[in-house]
Structure 1
Amino acid sequence: MAKKQFKAGAYGVIAAILVAVMLIGLTAFAFISRYNGFSDEKIALSYADTIVQTGDGYNALKVSAVSKNQKFGTFVTDAYMAPYINDGEEVEQNPAIGTGTEEEAQLLDSIYNTMYDFFLDLINNIGLENYDEFYSTYFAKLKEVRADVLNDEYMDTDFMFSVFESNVETYGESLTGTEEKLADDEKTVIKEASTGIYQTMFGTDYKLTATVKDKKILSDDEVKAYADGYKDRIVTFIQNGDTKAENLESEKQDKMIAAYDNLNVADSINGVSVCTVSVCDDKGNEVASTEINVIKIGNTWYVDNTNSDTSPLYLAYSTTPDTDL
């Protein structure tokens, strides 16, 4: 079958609709996240289920400690995109960009598809759970690919988020499968039908359900020891961020350092819940199980992504996605 591709031309037909749906989705996600944040089990399930259903370790971090002191998008921008952002520096784009022509569509298709192949390599060799290395490597490569395809040096956050989030979505669809979708003209194929890896693994009408099958609330002394361990882990992580920021101009350097510093919530931890999450198929067979450590700060719970092994939740990691779906 034909290789699944991002089609920039077809995408333009429904761009306005997608933006509206995305804004509604983000609003709903923010509301649900705030509501779930008052429950250790719900926040653990939200985190785990996001990964289980579509392999999306990117959006899962929105309910983790990463997002306690900053918006997740701001963290990604300041910690990983900052070295490449130059849209305010009078750097010219390829003249085809923004024209809405077939030439532009083909150029963008090339970037999105090349980066998706690279995304799959990172999935299999690094894994989204190792997000610091994953994002750093991805955006460095995106700069190279854009320069090769468009022959320009322009980079802004809209472009970087667009390509990356499209790759995240395409990967999820490679797991779940897709139905054919047509544009309003009922002729233009916006999305091709495909069989997903999960459908091959679990059956066409598969269903995966995550539940918390066990939970342990740590004592006050255990919480203090846990917070000390969190600080030890995150300090090393922050030091790596400081090293990456050394060669940036002052404003970007300050933002990157702050983005990493914001991850240190150790002194604010006042509760810890260890949730054992089980994932079962529609026959009741357990297909994955792991412990998710959830920390309480004030009245709100966050997943401690520095100390939760999510690798069992990436059910297709051992199966290379078929890019010829």
Structure 2
Amino acid sequence: MTIDRVKILDKRVLFVGGKGGVGKSTSASAIAMAASKLGKRVLLVSTDPAHNLSDLFHTRLKGEPKEVVRNLFVMEINPEKESERYIANVKKNLEGQVRATMIEEVHRQIDMAKTSPGADEAALFDRVTSLVLEELDRFDLLIFDTAPTGHTLRLVSLPEMMGVWMDGMLERRRKTNEHYTQLLNDGEPVEDPIYQTLQARRDKFRRVREILLDSSMTGFLFVLNPERLPIEEAKRGVETLRQHDIPVLGIIINKILPDSVDGTFFQKRKEQQLVYIEEIKRSFRKLPMVRMELLEEDISTLAHLEMVAGRWSSLME
């Protein structure tokens, strides 16, 4: 069973993930190029700090979309810069909402939070959220070339966790406002810009969560090689996504040795790969799969990438 046109070209948001080194960036780039050649306006986004897209497309990429071929725009998100931008926005949102005598201490606490565990992920999630909500009007398809599996799973599960956390904050803030209304404001509602800011962010998380959970709009592709460690990581990843109700679109089995290989060494590797491919079929039997052979050369030029994209085009048409 293959991944057909309906399950790729009719999506609006596609995540491509897997263990490091399995070929996520190449797969995401080839799919993006194929979709653009079939008439889709595509935005390809890298959230992987390794930033392989600049090398694949032989151009310098930044944090804003850049057209690299017709209808294909590419950008790379820098987690450190996003964290700095995120902290700056938090400080800006607090302007006028905190007493002047407290602002210096508040800024100090926020700067300390920047180095806490998960700060970069929260900033990255905020950027991805904004891209999903803002760029769907400009592009037919958003493709995210993600970091290795563990980081990606935390990222895509954040809308659910952040939503619950925001609900708790909003409830506490609402009770505080009711208390002040009764004691200090003669029963008149208290105008609270902090509550309004929290509500706006909660609505933002809710909207992006609805998109991520909508199987008609969103899909997650796992890339793996026919080797034990990538298979085990993909198993855990698929199960985690299912627990969060995030739709898994299919599996890409990458770097398969072709039948034409010769020599004792390669034949032994080929036999081992066949065993692992059978294991992949059993483990992911309910998911569509695409098999991609190992090429004779590295995918180091646009011509190489277009060759792989041609294979994807034939699968999508």
TM-score of the superposed pair, with normalisation by structure 1: 0.25
- Structure having the higher Rg: 2
TM-score of the superposed pair, with normalisation by structure 2: 0.25
